[in-house]
Structures are given as structure tokens and as C-alpha cells.
């Protein structure tokens, strides 16, 4: 797999099988108080420890059925996908002008460790995308034919403006959704889209559930996550179950996020490869 910039990731062509845990993607209406500490988990039954452990150790499971799948997911071989960021790399840039997006991307391309040759562009209602062929050096430093496509994106401000966001943080301001009318579906897809660019120091990390609900003044969307932290040879893994909640104000579209720890369990795989909870 080729190297990628810090704010990017490489996607494999083999799509992971998604196992449905009986946690269907729905939009729930609720009248819970925004001050309710456990507002999201109270609306949705949590999977059992057995279900969580089974999912964590299933090498082919990553996200539930119905979860967002990127348009580039079927690209042959390895490829690079990322967003052009501001000077401090804190957040993704946005523009509604293609020429501006192209200018930013071209400058970004010149500054990359591996630059690419422009081969085309693409756009949808969310972003502009500049497509380049990237040439990586071989083991002795020689660069041959282009080896990997790179897809660099600039959000459209008409969809979302991420100015001022700290994309390395899991709590706080997450941008402003400008699409109108703002709907639960728009927020849900935005949250699931950003998940593919989110770094959390856990391996593996699994999305157990993804669902939305509504307050009088805001739409909410929750990712229920299982994050695995290895604790060393001969020790059980620590599995942390958390909610990542995004709330979008219905009037302004301003989005805020909350990373909420629920509980932890310890588990391992026995000598036969079967997952089990540690006592």
C-alpha cells in the first residue's frame, strides 16, 4: 500500500462484508431533554457484551448495513483520498468556485511529499474533486510510471463550511451545514462521511450502530462505536463503547459534537480463535 498524507487514508478495493446486528438505520423522533447525559443511548437498545465482542473480532465487519459508502470505494488497487486543508491543517477548506478550489489544490499538490499529474476533475453537490496520478519511488528511489490515483477534495460551502474546526478533536464545533432544507438525512450522511477521515488511536475500531433523532431545535446523529485498545502480550484487550453525537441547529445549521464514553469491557480470542469476555 502506498504512503498517504497525514490527513488521508488508503482504501482497498475489496469491500468489507457488513453484518447487520439488528440495529437498523432509522430516524427517531424524541422529546428528551438536551441536558440528559445519556440522551442517545436511552433511545436505542445497546447490543449485548457478547454481540459487541463478536463484532470486534470479526475481521470482515467495519460498519452496519446502510452506512455511507464513498464513491471511490470501488477504485482498483490502492489510492489516496483526502481534503485540501487550511494553512495550519486544522480543517478542510470550502469554496463554491471551481477555479478557486483548483488553485488551492494545485498549491497543495506542489507541497506534498508525493505530488501528482493532473488527469481530471469531478464534482457533486458536496465537493469538487481533483484527480491526479501519483508516482511513488521504488526501493532504490527511482520513479517509474504513475502508480496510484489521488483524489483531492474541496468541500462546497453551499453544503458545509468547516472554518474554525479542529478536526483532530472529537468534541466541540464541527462546522456549519448550509444545505437547505436541512434534514436528518443530510446530517447523518455528513457524520458518516467524516467518519472515514476521523483518526482515533484504536485498532480495530467498529461502528456498532448509526442513527438519528430529533429535538425541537436540532437534529442529532449518533455513531455507537467499539474501540479496541491492546494492553500487551498475554493481557486481554480493552474495548471501550462510546457514543459520538453530532447535533445540528435546525435554524443555523451549526454542528457541535460530543464524544461520550459509556462503558468498557475486556475480551480476547482463545487459542482456537474464538472471542470471549475476560472474567
Q: Under 8 Å CB-to-CB from 116, ≥6 apart: which residues?
A: 109, 132, 133, 134, 135, 146, 150
Residue 141 has pLDDT above 60, yes or no: no
Q: Under 8 Å CB-to-CB from 203, ≥6 apart: which residues?
A: 228, 230
Give the residue numbers spanning the domain of 47: 8-277
pTM of the model: 0.82
Residue 2 covered by a domain: no
Residue 259 covered by a domain: yes
Residue 1 covered by a domain: no
Of 45, 35, 40, 131, the closest CA to residue 82 belongs to 131
Calculate mean pLDDT across residues 246-256.
98
Per-residue pLDDT tens over the stretch 43-84: 789 999 999 999 999 999 999 999 999 999 999 988 999 999
Calculate mean pLDDT across residues 189-200.
97
| Per-residue confidence (pLDDT) for residue 7, from 0 to 100 | 42
Per-residue pLDDT tens over the stretch 220-248: 999 999 999 999 888 999 999 999 999 99
| Per-residue confidence (pLDDT) for residue 146, from 0 to 100 | 62
Residue 161 covered by a domain: yes
Percent of the chain with pLDDT over 90: 73
Residue 3 covered by a domain: no
Residue 190 covered by a domain: yes
Average pLDDT of every residue of the chain: 85
Q: How confident is the model at residue 5 (pLDDT cuts 50, 70, 90)?
A: very low
Residue 29 covered by a domain: yes
Domains of the chain: total: 1
Residue 109 covered by a domain: yes
Amino acid at each position: 500500500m502506498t504512503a498517504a498524507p497525514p490527513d488521508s487514508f488508503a482504501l482497498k478495493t475489496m469491500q468489507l462484508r457488513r453484518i447487520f446486528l439488528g440495529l437498523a438505520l432509522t430516524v427517531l423522533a424524541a422529546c428528551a431533554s438536551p441536558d440528559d447525559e445519556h440522551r442517545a443511548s436511552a433511545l436505542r437498545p445497546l447490543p449485548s457484551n457478547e454481540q459487541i465482542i463478536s463484532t470486534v473480532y470479526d475481521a470482515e465487519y467495519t460498519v452496519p448495513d446502510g452506512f455511507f459508502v464513498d464513491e471511490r470505494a470501488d477504485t482498483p488497487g490502492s489510492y489516496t483520498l483526502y481534503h485540501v486543508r487550511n494553512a495550519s491543517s486544522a480543517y478542510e477548506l470550502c469554496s463554491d468556485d471551481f477555479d478557486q478550489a483548483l488553485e488551492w489544490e494545485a498549491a497543495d499538490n506542489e507541497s506534498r511529499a508525493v505530488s501528482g499529474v493532473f488527469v481530471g476533475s469531478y464534482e457533486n453537490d458536496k465537493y469538487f474533486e481533483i484527480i491526479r496520478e501519483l508516482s511513488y519511488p521504488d526501493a532504490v528511489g527511482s520513479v517509474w510510471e504513475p502508480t496510484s490515483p489521488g483524489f483531492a477534495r474541496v468541500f462546497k460551502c453551499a453544503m458545509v463550511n468547516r472554518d474554525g474546526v479542529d478536526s483532530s478533536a472529537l468534541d466541540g464545533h464541527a462546522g456549519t451545514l448550509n444545505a437547505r432544507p436541512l434534514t436528518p438525512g443530510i446530517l447523518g450522511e455528513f457524520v458518516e462521511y467524516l467518519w472515514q477521515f476521523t483518526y482515533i488511536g484504536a485498532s480495530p475500531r467498529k461502528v456498532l450502530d448509526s442513527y438519528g433523532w430529533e429535538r425541537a431545535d436540532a437534529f442529532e446523529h449518533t455513531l455507537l462505536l467499539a474501540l479496541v485498545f491492546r494492553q500487551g502480550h498475554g493481557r486481554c484487550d480493552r474495548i471501550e463503547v462510546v457514543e459520538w453525537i453530532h447535533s445540528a441547529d435546525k435554524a443555523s445549521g451549526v454542528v457541535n459534537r460530543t464524544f461520550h464514553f459509556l462503558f468498557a469491557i475486556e475480551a480476547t480470542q482463545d487459542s482456537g480463535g474464538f472471542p470471549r469476555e475476560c472474567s
